[in-house]
Amino acid sequence: MAKPDLEEIFKKRTRHPFRPRASDIINKLFPDFKEFRNTGVSLVGGTCQFQDKTLYVIGQQKPKPADLRSNDDLKRLDYGMLTSDDHARVLSILKNAEKSDSENTFIFCIVDTYGADISMYSAQRFQAFFISHLIRKFLTIPIRTISLVLGEGGSGGALALQVTDVRGQVDDALYATAPPESMASIVFRDPTRIGDALSILKPTARDLKRLGVIDRIVPSPEDVTNCQELADNIQKFLIKSIRDLSRSRIKKLIKKRDMRAKHYGLSKESGKFVDFKRYIEKPIMKAFRKPPPGIKIVNYSSLIEVSDDYGRVMEQKTTKEYIECGAMHGEEKRVKGCGKLIPLEDFLSHFHVCPECGHSYTLGAEGWIDCLADTGSFHELYRNLTVDQLLEKEAITDYYRDFLSKQEGRSHFKESLVVGSARVHHFLVVLAISEFYFAGGSMGVVFGEKFRRAVDYAIQENLPFVSLCCSGGARLYEGISALMQMVKTIESVNRLKRHGLPYISILADPATGGAIASYAALGDIIMAEPDALIIFAGPRVMKAKGFEVDERLVRSGFLHQISSDIYNHLGYYHDLRGIQEICERKNMKFSIAKYLELYTRTNHRARRTSNKRGNKTLLPLPL
C-alpha cells in the first residue's frame, strides 16, 4: 500500500469533517466531567476525577457538521478559534487550578484549532497580549500539565495551550506556525500550493518530536471517525503521562520547561561554549542618519519662489535634497502624508517623521539606535550569528536561502534583531531592537537566540533591558521552530523578572504577529509610538480571511484609551495592563530615561535572602 502524502493526510484526515472533537474525547474519557459555565462555543473547560487525580480539562473545540446548520453558523468566521474572552476564561481556570492541591491536580489541554480568533472584537481586547500571558502562565504554573494536539494546531492560538510538561500529538494531526493555506498565500502568493507549504512547515508528529516540540505520539485509528479507538489510545497516553509526571517534583518540572524553551531552534551549535562566545562589535561612533528604503528623494531647486540667497552674487549650490511627504518609489499616487517637500536633513533629524503633519515612515534599527542611544555608546552583541550556525543544513530549504539572499544589502545589520549595550541619557542598558528592513523584522531562530543571549548579558551585568518591537510576525520559512521562539523569548523575560531587572517594551509601527504575542506584551512598562499598528494578525491577513478591518481601532492611540479602563476590569484582563504611554519618537529617549531614573533613585535591585541551607537566592522586587 502506497504511503499517503502529507497533503492527502491534511485534507482527508486532519480536517475530516467527522473527525472526533475535543468534547467527543472528553465524553468518552471522563464520565463525571463537570463543565464550567460560560465557556463559549469554541472552548470546553471543566473538572473531573481521573486516576485518583483532579483533572482540569481545557479544550479547543472545532465545529462539527451538525453545528453548521443556520446561515449565521456558516457565516461565523472565528468558529473553532478562541477569542480574547475565551483566553481570559482560560487564565481564570488556571488561577483556580493553582488553589487546588498541587500534588494531586493536573491540567490537561486538548489542542484543535486553526489559530486564535483574529476578529476586530478580539484585537481590540488585546488578543496578542492574552496569548503571551498564557504562555508565560504555563511556563511558571506550579501544577503538572499535559497537552495533546488532537487534530490541527495553528499558530499562537495553539501555542497558548500547548506549552506543558508532557506534550503529545496524534500521529495524523498537524501542528504548524500557520495554516498551510495562509503559508502558501504569503510565501508563494498562491493559496493552492498547500503541498509546498506543508513541506516547509514540517507539521507532522514525527517532525515535531525530532525538533523537541512534542514528546509522545498517539496512534490514530485506521478509520478517522472511530472515536472510541482514538479515546482508548488517548487514555493510555494520559495514564502514562500522569504516572511519569508524578515521579518528578514540580520545581524540577518548571526548570525543565525553562531548559526546553531555551533550546528551541538550536539543532546544532548549542551549549555553554557557544553561549560564552560573544560577537562584540566596536561602538558605532556616528549617527546613521539614512533615509528608509524606497523613499523618494528629490533634487529640488525652486524656479518660482524667491530663494533665501536672493541678491547674493557669490556662487551657491543650486540643488538640495528633499522628500515628498508620503511618496514612495513604485507608487504613482501618494496615499498618506501631506505631500509637502521636506528638507531631507529635517526629515532625518525628526527620525523619519514629517515635521509638518506628523506622518511617520517605518524606522529601521539604524534609525532607532540614533533615536534611543547616546551617540557612540552602542556596542553590538552577537552580530555574526546566522541561521547556518543554529539550524541543520537540511532544515534550510532552497526557498529559504533565496529569501535570505534577497535581504542582503537592505540593512546595515545581518538579522532581524539587533542587540547590544548602550547608554540612554547616560544610563547603561541592554537594547534589543527589531530590524524591519531585514525580513520584515520577522521572528526566527536567530532572533530568539539573540534575544535570549541579550537577556543573559543583562542579568550577568545587572542592567535594565529595553526592547523595541517592529515586526511582521514569525518567519514562516523556518516552520515550527520560528513559532517556538515565542516561548523562548517569554522564558527570557521571566528570568529578567526573577532577577528584579526592569524591562521596558516599546511598540513601534508595526508591532504584529508572534513578537507582539510574546516578549513585547510583557514589559513592566509598555510604550508605543503614535499611530503604531498593534495587532496579532495583520490587516491583509484579516481581509483575506473575510474579517472586517478598521485599522483605526487597532492603532496605539485607541488601544491606549482602552488601557486606561483596564483597572476597572481586572477580573477579565488579569495581569494584562495594555499600553501605558504613547510617546513620539523625538521624546522616546527622554521617556525611557525617566523610568530608568525611577529605577535608580528607588535603588531597585533584586533582594538577596538566605534559605535554611545558607544558599542565597534572588527575590524580585516589583518596578
Check: CB of residue 379 under 8 Å from CB of residue 411: no
Q: What is the pLDDT of residue 603?
A: 67
DSSP string, 128-189: HHHHHHHHHHHHH-SSEEEEEEEEEEEHHHHHHHH-SSEEEEETT-EEESS-HHHHHHHHTS
Check: CB of residue 489 under 8 Å from CB of residue 451: yes
Q: What is the pLDDT of residue 48?
A: 97
Q: What is the pLDDT of residue 616?
A: 52
Phi, psi of 389 (to 5 degrees): -80, -15
User: In the 8-state DSSP scheme, what is residue 370?
Assistant: H
**pLDDT tier at 280, thresholds 50, 70, 90:** low
> Does residue 606 register a pLDDT over 70?
no
Copy the grid coordinates of residue 468.
523595541
Q: Rounded mean pLDDT of 140-151?
A: 97
Question: Which stretch, 167-181, 277-291, 350-364, has highest mean pLDDT?
Answer: 167-181
Q: What is the pLDDT of residue 614?
A: 55
For 414-458, write each residue's pLDDT tens digit.
Answer: 999 999 999 999 999 999 999 999 999 999 999 999 999 999 999
Whole-angstrom distance, CA of residue 19 vs CA of residue 9? 12
**pTM (predicted TM-score):** 0.88
- The correct answer on CATH 3.40.50.300 for the domain covering 21-61+83-263 is no
Instruction: Could you list the beta-strand ranges (E) of 390-464.
Output: 417-424, 427-434
Domain ranges in the chain are 21-61+83-263, 363-619
Q: Which amino acid is at 604?
A: H
Give the three-state DSSP class for 491: helix
**pLDDT tier at 182, thresholds 50, 70, 90:** confident
Give me the chain's average pLDDT, please: 87
Which of 49-63, 287-301, 447-461, 604-618 is predicted least confidently? 604-618
Whole-angstrom distance, CA of residue 129 vs CA of residue 562? 13
> Does residue 612 register a pLDDT over 80?
no
Q: What is the pLDDT of residue 253?
A: 97
Q: What is the pLDDT of residue 266?
A: 83
Are domains 21-61+83-263 and 363-619 of this chain identical in fold? yes
For 106-126, write each residue's pLDDT tens digit.
Answer: 999 999 998 999 999 999 999
Measured on CA atoms in the order 453, 459, 460, 466, is the torsion positive or negative? Answer: positive
- In sequence order, what are the residues at sequence separation of 6 or more whose Cβ sits closer than 8 angstroms to the Cβ of residue 517? 127, 128, 129, 131, 132, 156, 486, 536
Q: Which of 538, 371, 520, 528 is nearest to 451 (CA)?
A: 520
Whole-angstrom distance, CA of residue 354 vs CA of residue 348? 9
Domain 363-619 fold: 2-enoyl-CoA Hydratase; Chain A, domain 1 (3.90.226)
Give the three-state DSSP class for 504: strand
Q: Rounded mean pLDDT of 241-259?
A: 97
**Number of alpha helices (DSSP H) and beta strands (DSSP E) in the chain:** 25, 21
> Does residue 297 register a pLDDT over 80?
no
Q: What is the pLDDT of residue 315?
A: 43
> Does residue 350 register a pLDDT over 80?
no
For 43-56, write each residue's pLDDT tens digit.
Answer: 999 999 999 999 99
